[in-house]
């Protein structure tokens, strides 16, 4: 009688090992994005080859293509990564002053980053423009709700959109010519927000105040200026 040696059944890797493998991929992607953020913010898009990016990351071009199919795909992912960082800094909670300072610090460290994320960086690109549009809308929505507004108030929304455009332009001009301090720029931006709110809050009907507010009280944070967190601004 002939005996057949049956190979032992293949055992599936434990869940914690599989999870570690997935985390390893995520960590590697974050490393790639950190390097691409630095390179794309200091070099023109057309001057960088995929080989340059792979070398800077410390991997082969083939392995880099395993994570990103093209240089453009990596660029778009980098823009998305940077905008996600900026959204963490700019909400009104807990402190607008600190958030603005963080954004300016990021641009101060990587001056080319402002042009990259606020001007698209590679000319007209529909996907990058869509990311910027989504970022600006989330900024606007976060500020509107954070200031205590509810419902639609066209003048307030117009003022906030204008202020966010001013914020971007001031950032762009400052990184090009940083002849004033970061703190001065932050205070300039804060004062401009206070002035805009002073001009628009009075147009919001009293019944549009936050739910639970006393009659006649409109958007408490906007009215009192508490959006500035720990920073005191003179009226």
pLDDT tens for residues 7-66?
Answer: 555 555 555 445 545 558 889 999 999 999 989 888 888 899 999 999 999 999 999 999
Higher local confidence (pLDDT), 9 or 89: 89
Q: Is residue 64 part of a domain?
A: no
pTM strictly above 0.85: no
- Residue 125 in domain: yes
Does 166 have pLDDT greater than 80? yes
pLDDT at position 120, please?
60
Q: Which is higher by pLDDT, 39 or 102? A: 39
Question: Does residue 2 lie in a domain region?
Answer: no
Q: What is the CATH number of the domain that holds 201?
A: 1.10.357.10
93-102, 134-143, 180-189: which range is least confident on average? 93-102
Residues in CB range of 120: below 8 A, 6 or more apart: 128, 129, 132
Closest CA to 150 of 222, 90, 83, 198: 222
Residue 71 lies in a domain: no
Q: Count of domains in the chain?
A: 1
Q: Hey, what are 52's tokens? A: 């340059």
Q: Is the dihedral of CA 196, 155, 165, 96 positive or negative?
A: positive
160 inside domain: yes
């Amino acid at each position: 009688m002939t005996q057949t040696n049956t190979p032992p059944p293949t055992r599936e890797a434990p869940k914690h090992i599989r999870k570690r493998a997935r985390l390893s991929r995520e960590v590697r992607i974050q490393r790639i994005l950190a390097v691409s953020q630095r390179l794309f913010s200091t070099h023109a898009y057309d001057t960088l080859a995929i080989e340059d990016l792979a070398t800077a990351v410390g991997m082969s071009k083939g392995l880099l293509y395993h994570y990103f199919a093209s240089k453009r795909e990596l660029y778009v992912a980098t823009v998305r990564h940077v905008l996600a960082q900026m959204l963490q800094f700019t909400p009104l909670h807990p402190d607008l002053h600190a958030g603005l300072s963080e954004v300016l610090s990021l641009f101060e460290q990587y001056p080319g980053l402002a042009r990259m994320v606020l001007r698209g960086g590679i000319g007209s690109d529909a996907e990058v423009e869509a990311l910027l549009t989504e970022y600006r809308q989330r900024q606007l929505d976060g500020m509107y709700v954070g200031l205590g507004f509810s419902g639609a108030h066209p003048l307030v929304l117009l003022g906030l959109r204008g202020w966010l455009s001013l914020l971007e332009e001031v950032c762009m001009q400052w990184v090009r010519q940083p002849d004033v301090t970061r703190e001065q720029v932050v205070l300039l931006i804060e004062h401009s927000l206070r002035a805009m709110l002073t001009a628009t809050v009075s147009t919001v009907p009293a019944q549009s105040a936050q739910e639970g507010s006393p009659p006649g009280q409109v958007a408490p944070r906007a009215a009192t200026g508490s959006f500035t967190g720990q920073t005191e601004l003179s009226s």
